[in-house]
Structure 1
Amino acid sequence: MSPTDEQGYTETGQTRTRLPGGDPYGGAPRRTARSSSRSLVTVVGVVVLLIAAIAFANRGDGSSTKSASDKGDQPKAAPTAASGTKPVETRTAGIPSGFAHADQGAQSAAANYAVALVSADILKPFWRGEVVKQAFVADKQAGLTDKFNKAYSKKFLSSIGLDANGNAPAGHTYVSRTAPIGTKLTNYSDSTATVEVWCTGVFGTAGDDSTNPVTSDWFTMTLQLRWENGDWKVDSFSQKDGPAPVPGDDKASSADQMAKAVEEYGGFTYAR
């Protein structure tokens, strides 16, 4: 399997949508209440492992990110009206590219890169290399490839029920799908930008006897971007938990329903 400009990195049927700065969905997806404390402990353990792996991969880049609270002027949510900025029309290795050289282009880039960095592809050695090549600035690619490979080692993959190639056992489907809720631009110049992306997502292994059931998560990813060779690329990134809504009482879907949903519903291409 090889990447092409016309093929998504895990799913097909990608759809372009507008990415407003606020919450366009009229209510956030809710977590599923689970009666089994054992399942909850398992899910929490996997979340800790995933966050630790991302933190390890991003450690040692020598950069630091200031929060919005360190600045005198707090950024405000952007309006949801059409921006007039032309959205991206190309993809490389399944990831959108060719973002506008403007603050809105930086936000669009950050949202799309957040989706790629927390996708199931990052667990697969081949696609991991393609994600790094497309998403990061050239001078960070070699070092990050090595760090990602160490973070997503055979031992780590085994701990979440996957083989060395990031594949789930027969009869199971590994799920990792992220949906940006909104973006916040905290710093911008012609050559650099800092964007926070508030996300929700689903992850876990769908299967009748899975010990790592699919659950939801809320987190915020901060991406330091650099304008390089006519496009926005990631210089560094970090991730923290929340903000998360109060858990809801939705009835959990079956493993088969979750697996089919991932196969049948394509991901989004985000553009302001």
Structure 2
Amino acid sequence: MSLDGERNDGLYGGSGETRTRLPEGEGGGQGGYGGPRRSSRSSSRSLVTVVGVVVLLIAAIAFANRGDGGSSGEGAGDGEKAGAAPTAPTGEKPVNGKTSGIPSGYTKSAQGAQSAAANYAVALGSADMFNKTKRDAVLQAVMAPSSVSRFKANLDKAYSADFFKNVGLNENGSTPKGYQFVSRTSPIGTKAINVSGEKATVEVWCSGLLGLAGEQSTKPVTSSWFTITMKLVWVGGDWKAATHSQKDGPAPVPGDDRASGSDDIAKAVEGYGGFTYAR
């Protein structure tokens, strides 16, 4: 849901057939299906080659991801070392501070702005936003001082009794007995649209979970995809959000995964914590 009260504000299956093209010009008397069958020795050599490549690949990945077990005694938080692995975090060292439980203390750079936007998207999409006291604390932590009062007023109207009922909650925003309310936002990626001096505009592509987990729930937990655009300002030595808007997508084609039961979803939400995002 847009915080400004506006909208702007398995494996892929094939045919199951495998075709092998054999060298042309050999075994003309084989009815057009190529030359004689390869010897077992040739097949063995091919197998050894493939196994060797796989072993080397695994070793390379393990070496590239080695961060906190080396003899140097330095931790995995070193951004420069992390850059060696394609799938490892890149860029500035992740933030160490927190404000009201929300990561804070970002670098004054494009990477710092993207990290801030990602973590603020998580906070603004959390279940805490459905509780007035916790929501005010979140806004105080992530919003620029000049924007806090406006956002508080807009969200107090948006989080109404009708809205709570629509997502399966009681009229006061509490969770019905025997159920677990789920509201999570997970950033998939970020993009700095513009960073100039003490202002930045960042887009955060996210997936989200929202709903009520429980045996008799009429509002089961569902997933969604959306992109948040956040304008940030540098205030008090940190990035803070000045505006926030949201639009649908881009959404991938749904997979063939079987939907889990409500108990599994509830246990997953309780058992799996979130992350501190850093570009």
Q: Which residue of 1 aligns with 2:130?
A: 123
How big is each residue's C-alpha offset from its partner over 1:82-104, in whole Å with a ceiling of 9 and x where there is no partner?
Answer: 54522110111111010111110
Aligned residues: percent identity?
A: 54
Larger RCO (CA under 8 A, 6+ residues apart): 1
Q: Which residue of 2 aligns with 1:193?
A: 200
Match of 2:239 among 232, 239, 247: 232
Match of 1:254 among 252, 261, 270: 261
Shift of 1:153: 1.3
- Unmatched runs of 5 consecutive residues or more in structure 1: 1-50, 61-78
The DSSP-based 3-state class of the residue aligned with 1:130 is helix
Q: How many residues align?
A: 203
Q: Which residue of 1 aligns with 2:273?
A: 266
Counterparts of 1:57 and 1:125, CA distance in 2:
20
Counterparts of 2:233 and 2:4, CA distance in 1:
20
Counterparts of 2:154 and 2:8, CA distance in 1:
8
Q: Which residue of 2 aligns with 1:167?
A: 174
The Cα RMSD (Å) is 1.9
**Letter of the 1:183 counterpart:** T
- Alignment TM-score, normalising by the size of structure 1: 0.70
Q: Which residue of 1 aligns with 2:141?
A: 134
Shift of 1:151: 0.4
On the 8 A contact 1:117/1:131 being kept in 2, the answer is yes
Work out which of the two has the higher radius of gyration on C-alpha atoms and give 1 or 2. 2
How big is each residue's C-alpha offset from its partner over 1:182-210, in whole Å with a ceiling of 9 and x where there is no partner?
Answer: 00101001200000000112111101111
Shift of 1:164: 4.3
Counterparts of 2:105 and 2:183, CA distance in 1:
25
Shift of 1:264: 0.6
Residue correspondence of structure 1 range 202-213 to structure 2 within 5 A: 202-213=209-220
The DSSP-based 3-state class of the residue aligned with 1:108 is helix
Q: Which residue of 2 aligns with 1:87?
A: 94
Matched, 1:56 2:5: yes
- Unmatched runs of 5 consecutive residues or more in structure 2: 10-85
CA 1:133/1:226 → structure 2, altered by over 3 Å: closer, same or farther?
A: same
Shift of 1:248: 1.2
Residue correspondence of structure 1 range 62-73 to structure 2 within 5 A: none
On the 8 A contact 1:58/1:144 being kept in 2, the answer is no
CA 1:104/1:153 → structure 2, altered by over 3 Å: closer, same or farther?
A: same
The DSSP-based 3-state class of the residue aligned with 2:108 is coil
Shift of 1:163: 2.3
Shift of 1:81: 6.3
